[in-house]
Structure 1
Amino acid sequence: MYNWLLWFHVISFISWFAVLFYLPRLFVYHVENSDNKGFVEVVKIQEMKLFKYIGVPAMWATLLSGAVLIYLGGWMSAPWLHVKLLFVLLLVINFYSMNFYRKQLLEDRCTKSGKFFRMYNEVPTLLMLVIVAMVVLKPF
């Protein structure tokens, strides 16, 4: 049972990261093509569907399966886990900040540039490096 749950957690994590990597890229396309109204309307739909129908369920599947794995593994006192959970919290904050920008873009109120969203797109990668290092290396 544990291995199946771990499998589900990894699949959920990968699905969530697909959204974390691709949604800011859509934001780049959105702001850099703001003069093309037809294109922007399509991108707005893609942004909404990606966030609501893939991102939110994948995030919750990742968090809930991770919580059960922590419970079953008895790792609550492991220092590496506390570091990992801190970075997971930062990842959740980053994810919901994407929704903040998505809503601004939906209402044509976002003043951020394509360059900003290119840099913003790197945040999940940096967080992922620490999260995966904590799990694999267990340095503490």
Structure 2
Amino acid sequence: MIDWTHFTLWSALAGGALIGLSAGLYAVLEGRVAGISGLLGGLFKGAGWKGEGLFFLLGILAAPLLWTVQRPLPEIRFDAGWMTLVAAGLLVGVGSRLGSGCTSGHGVCGLSRLSGRSLVATLCFMGTGFATVFVARHLLGNGA
């Protein structure tokens, strides 16, 4: 659910534009897709902690820290226990491995390249997300 009292249209638009710009520049300058699971996986597969992947990931980690110069970060709150978070993280990791990429790789970069595989992957993870929310909220009675 969107927290409309804290939603800021211009920062959301700027963030989306920066994601698109960085993914586009990465594709044009490096010839690679800026999917986070692929970049992170490449660092652990023996590519080492060097190269453009490391700088891309450091940029993702540095962005919230730089944001705090302007204003404080919003409160981070999880409405789930640690076992649920661990299970969710493992399922996301397995899903991105089975799907040959993550939401950023397929949804942002793959769709912009008109990749059929990315369209199918995006429809699958969006449909699964919609179904999960429906089941959790309306059939199991969890959530708002």
Higher relative contact order (CA 8 A, sep 6+): 1
TM over 0.5: same fold?
A: no
TM-score, length basis structure 1: 0.31
Q: Quick check: which one's helix share is greater?
A: 1
Q: TM-score, normalised by structure 2?
A: 0.30
